[in-house]
Amino acid sequence: MRKLLLSASALGVLIACAAASATNPSDEGANLPAVFKNFTSDVKVALEGSTVVITATSVPNHKSPYFATSDSRYEAYNGSNANFVLNPNRIATQTMVLRIPVTPTVATTAQPTPLGPIGVALNGVAIFNQYAAGRQPLAGEINSFDQYNGHPQQSGMYHYHVEPLFLTQSRGKSGLLGFLLDGYPLYGPVENGKTLVSADLDEFHGHSHATAEYPNGIYHYHVTADVPYINGTGFKGNPGTVSQ
């Protein structure tokens, strides 16, 4: 009899744990809006209340000359920039946790984007703003971008300042590319068959209307080939946080 009671008790604990797990809002994927399921499988995405928590390593899912030559992911530069120069940094795995609003809201007072990650691409690579160190223009730093338009900084964090070519090649020039810290999505440079330039967008480098992922409309950013490339004078919305 005692054995049966213990078994029943254990079963009750298991059922209670399972129920708690099923309703825990911090569970990975629980009640997560479908748009956030576009991240690659190596990126962890979870919903915690009104916040989406994105955990990534900022290691690209494509080859690069910034991997060690002994690494199977190494690929010598084969892009179109005749002035390419390999910088001395090499890609290293990072711990990057972004907490962004699941429902972004327009900021009353716009905040400038910081140096370092201002968002994340769908492959878990950090998105940086239009500046080099010291908030200087990218200028010559562009010549160190690999064939997919990324490069690592001193700690080895690989990142994009401009159009992430691997993603626009694989997802299309008009596809969803990622999210900035304010929760607003980032799209490619083509919209309705037109290649956009910065003059087509507002001061934050975006505009509002329906997209494939947001049929009811949303403010969203676009990458363009001209300055400021991804983001303009700051975040359109209220930014979340990023920790490394």
Query: Mind listing the pLDDT tens digit for each residue in 142-194?
Result: 999 999 999 999 999 999 999 999 999 999 999 999 999 999 999 999 999 99
pLDDT of 140: 87
Instruction: Report in angstroms the alpha-carbon separations of 147 from 71, 173, 239.
Output: 17, 16, 30
Per-residue pLDDT, averaged over 197-226, amounts to 98
Residues 120 and 88 sit within 8 Å (Cβ to Cβ): no
CB burial of 199-226 (b: ≥16 within 10 Å; e: otherwise) equals eebeebbbeeeebebbeeebbbbbbbee
For the ranges 4-18, 178-192, 204-218, the lowest mean pLDDT is seen at 4-18
CA distance 50 to 25: 10
Q: Which two tokens stand for residue 211?
A: 């997209």
Confidence of residue 30 (pLDDT cuts 50, 70, 90): low
User: Is the per-residue pLDDT at 23 higher than 70?
Assistant: no
Once rounded to an integer, what is the mean pLDDT over residues 42-60?
98
Per-residue confidence (pLDDT) for residue 123, from 0 to 100: 98
pTM for this structure?
0.88
Give dist(CA 168, CA 231) in Å, integer. 17
**CA 10 → CA 5, 7, 16, 85, 173, distances in Å?**
9, 5, 10, 63, 54
The chain-wide mean pLDDT, for the chain, equals 90
Minimum mean pLDDT range among 30-44, 59-73, 185-199: 30-44
The predicted pLDDT at position 134 comes to: 86
pLDDT for res 29: 54
Going by the DSSP 8-state scheme, the letter that residue 219 receives in this structure is: E
What is the average pLDDT across 62-70?
Answer: 98
